[in-house]
């Protein structure tokens, strides 16, 4: 039913639409609302001309002003890079053995390295650097390839067991599943699991198996060899798990994790920065002949005017 008329109660003309006896009034929009709407239409027309707006095949129209949020971000990044250029240049050139003595540069390296770690390394080692099964914990003081700043930087720069960098650290544990019998692997598994408790690595039949097959890399004392990345088997730190099944699996298949080289991807300054960050997480070792870094290094005082005046820890990092 339709038919325009004036409403008896309000005196407002109706639209002629009626539903269940309810008539729709033809109330005009307020003038201020209409003018605001018209203004937004004009504003939108001006906006699409001046700013990026219309999508095309692989980008959006740039607008007469050529402005973009991406351009703003790039400009901010460029400004930050320029402000830090001198620090990054110094970090590239500094001798890593004396880096911890330079309060400003060492603090900057740790902050920058933390950002690099969260963006690049946390996917494997975890956001807190505690690692996971097959990925080393960087918070403890056990290092497969050495824990000095120079050792860590070399590992980051060249990686481990990769085909991309000829200087990558490399070692390979044999798959003893193709060498030993099943009962020998079971015997060796129990023996290896007993080593953190103080068992003699060379004791008994299992000890002879260890000496014949494992000692050439892990050492007769089972404490490993950092020159080839052979882990210490007496410290109860298990990269691939500590259950009998996991240890037996490691013996059978000879695990060989791969770490990519980051030297070309990050650049020398960022490699050194993330090395400083990892070194400071709690397990970093001092170089022999390097002044020990006090707790909270990076905010402990001015750099000595003569590095030779700093007392050296001759045996620092030599033992665990």
List the binding residues.
121, 124-125, 173, 214, 217-218, 259
299 DSSP 8-state letter: S
Distance CA 263, CA 237 (A): 28
Three-state SS for 272? helix
Query: Among candidates 162, 143, 163, which has minimal Cα distance to 153?
Result: 143
Element (H, E) at 15: strand 14-19
Residues 6+ apart with CB under 8 A from 120: 262, 265, 266, 274
Alpha carbon distance 121, 123 (integer Å):
6
Question: Which phi and psi (to 5°) does residue 53 adopt?
Answer: -150, -60
Alpha carbons 198 and 234: distance in angstroms, whole number: 7
Binding-site members for heme c are 121, 124-125, 173, 214, 217-218, 259
**CA-CA-CA-CA torsion sign (74, 128, 291, 316):** negative
Q: What is residue 129's three-state secondary structure?
A: coil
Q: How many other C-beta atoms are found inside a 10 Å radius of the C-beta of residue 290? A: 25
Cβ neighbors of 196 (< 8 A, separation 6 or more) are 233, 234, 235, 236
In angstroms, how far is the first alpha carbon of the chain from the final one?
94
Alpha carbon of 209 to those of 72, 145, 185, 201: distances in Å? Answer: 65, 26, 9, 10
3-state helix, strand, coil in the chain (%, to 5): 45, 5, 50
* Total residues found in the chain within this entry: 320
């Amino acid at each position: 039913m339709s038919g325009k008329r004036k409403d008896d109660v309000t005196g407002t003309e109706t639209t002629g639409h009626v539903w269940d006896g309810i008539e729709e009034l033809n109330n005009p929009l307020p003038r201020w609302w209409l003018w605001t709407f018209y203004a937004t239409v004009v504003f939108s027309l001006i906006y699409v001309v001046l700013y990026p707006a219309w999508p095309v095949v692989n980008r959006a129209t740039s607008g007469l002003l050529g402005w973009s949020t991406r351009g703003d971000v790039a400009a901010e990044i460029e400004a930050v890079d320029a402000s830090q250029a001198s620090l990054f240049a110094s970090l590239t050139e500094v001798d890593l053995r004396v880096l911890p003595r330079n309060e400003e540069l060492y603090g900057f390296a740790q902050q920058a390295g933390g950002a690099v770690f969260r963006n690049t390394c946390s996917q494997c080692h975890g956001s807190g650097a505690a690692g996971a099964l097959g990925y080393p914990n960087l918070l403890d003081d056990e290092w497969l390839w050495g824990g000095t700043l120079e050792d860590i930087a070399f590992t980051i720069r060249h990686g481990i067991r990769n085909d991309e960098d000829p200087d990558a650290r490399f070692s390979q544990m044999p798959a003893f599943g193709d060498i030993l019998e099943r009962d020998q692997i079971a015997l060796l598994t129990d023996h290896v699991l007993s080593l953190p408790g103080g068992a003699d690595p060379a004791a008994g039949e299992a000890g002879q198996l260890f000496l014949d097959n494992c000692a050439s890399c892990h050492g007769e004392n089972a404490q490993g060899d950092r020159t080839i990345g052979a882990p210490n088997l007496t410290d109860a730190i298990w990269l691939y798990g500590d259950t009998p099944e996991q240890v037996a699996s490691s013996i059978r298949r000879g695990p060989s994790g791969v770490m990519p080289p980051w030297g070309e991807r990050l650049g020398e300054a960022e490699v050194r920065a993330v090395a400083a960050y990892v070194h400071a997480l709690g397990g970093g070792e001092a170089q022999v002949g390097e002044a020990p870094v006090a707790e909270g290094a990076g905010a402990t005082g001015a750099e000595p005017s003569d590095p030779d005046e700093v007392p050296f820890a001759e045996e620092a990092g030599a033992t665990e």
